Structure 1
Amino acid sequence: MKTKSSASAVVLQPGEGARRWFFGGGVQTWKATEEDTAGAFLLFEDEMALNKVTPLHTHPDSDETLYILAGEILMNMDGTEHRVAAGGVVIAPRGVPHAFKVLQEGTRMLCLHTPGGAQAFYFGASEPLSLGENSGAVDFDRIRASGQLNGGIEILGAPPFPEP
């Protein structure tokens, strides 16, 4: 996506922001887009279902910071597992393999990509939600296809967690 030459002022109230169903499972509420920040970063809130997992992956061109707002995740960071609860933070520098699994119902986190550059991936791996909608179909093939088409992510393999 094309970015503007200067950042825009953004003020959003709780619950505001474009809502999208991410095909990996979860509702993203976009708080600051790459266009808003002139490419400096991308910020969205992610509400995820219990037992959601991500494949093992890297972000080759951005650092990913996850701030857990509610609930708990199990983070696999470069082969080491860490339980991270509400108030915890995870920073996955670009190129570091990582994946996570949601351990509690109602888990929410803020996801920050710096610099921006991953938005096209997330946009291609999600679809808009109408007001009142909260789910869609999980489709890892569409996630992989968006990564191949748009960059922003490199899928390395299956989730590194045992089946529930």
Structure 2
Amino acid sequence: MSAIHADATDYDFGGSRTRIHVSGAHTGDAYCVLEIASPAGRATPLHHHDREEETIVIVEGELKVVVDGAPKVLHAGESLTLARGERHQLINVGAHTARYLVICVPAGFDRFVEACGDPQPAPAGLHELTAAAKARMVEAAGRFGITIHPPAAACEMR
């Protein structure tokens, strides 16, 4: 069965623009595909997923990915697959916005983005991550099998 996914929704998710291209609703929860545009200097919190494997494909720019304490820099065209339970953090170390795809198997991360992101009706500039948005993300994480670890001095969510 084929389907055209013309109903993608954009979210301000942790200060990065996130588009859900293929949701679990499209795939019977087999997988989901998201595109993330992360501004220069933006970082995710250190976290891990209990429920899904996550593949990151760099489309534009570069990201430092810290996996279980070991940093790797990924450039456009490179990818990395993370197993369930692997602690990781994504940091845009470039001078420009980094764009990357996140493919999660099974789906579920898409619903986390919907639960704690703010829908964006049209492309627009991103805003600084507020304390309220951080708190909403931390509160929602447990419902989706995501553990956010306390930040180290150099690993805070920005």
Matched position secondary structure for 2:73:
strand
Q: What is the CA distance between 1:157 and its match in structure 2?
A: 2.0
Structure 1: 5+ residue runs without aligned partners? 1-7
Counterpart CA distance in 1 for 2:29 and 2:86 is: 21
Counterpart of 1:40 in structure 2: which amino acid?
A: A
Counterpart of 2:119 in structure 1: which amino acid?
A: P
Is the CA contact (8 Å cut-off) linking 1:56 and 1:160 kept in structure 2? Answer: no
1:36-71 deviation line (CA, Å, top 9, x unaligned)? 000000111001100111111100000011000000
TM-score where L is the length of structure 2: 0.87
Is the CA contact (8 Å cut-off) linking 1:33 and 1:43 kept in structure 2? Answer: yes
Tell me the number of residue pairs that the alignment of Structure 1 and Structure 2 aligns: 153
Counterpart CA distance in 2 for 1:32 and 1:162 is: 30
Residue 156, structure 1, aligned to residue 146, structure 2: no
Residue 140, structure 1, aligned to residue 134, structure 2: yes
Select 1:10's aligned residue among 3, 17, 28: 3
Counterpart of 1:156 in structure 2: which amino acid?
A: H
TM-score where L is the length of structure 1: 0.84
Higher helix share: 2
Q: Which residue of 1 aligns with 2:77?
A: 87
Percent identity reads 22
Select 1:126's aligned residue among 109, 117, 121: 117
Q: Which residue of 1 aligns with 2:67?
A: 77
Residue 97, structure 1, aligned to residue 87, structure 2: yes
Counterpart CA distance in 2 for 1:159 and 1:70 is: 27
Q: What is the CA distance between 1:27 and its match in structure 2?
A: 0.7
Q: Which residue of 2 aligns with 1:4?
A: none
Q: Which residue of 2 aligns with 1:64?
A: 54
Change (3 A) 1:145 1:137: farther
Counterpart CA distance in 2 for 1:154 and 1:125 is: 14
Counterpart CA distance in 2 for 1:95 and 1:162 is: 18
1:2-32 deviation line (CA, Å, top 9, x unaligned)? xxxxxx633247xx7211110x111111110
Matched position secondary structure for 2:90:
strand
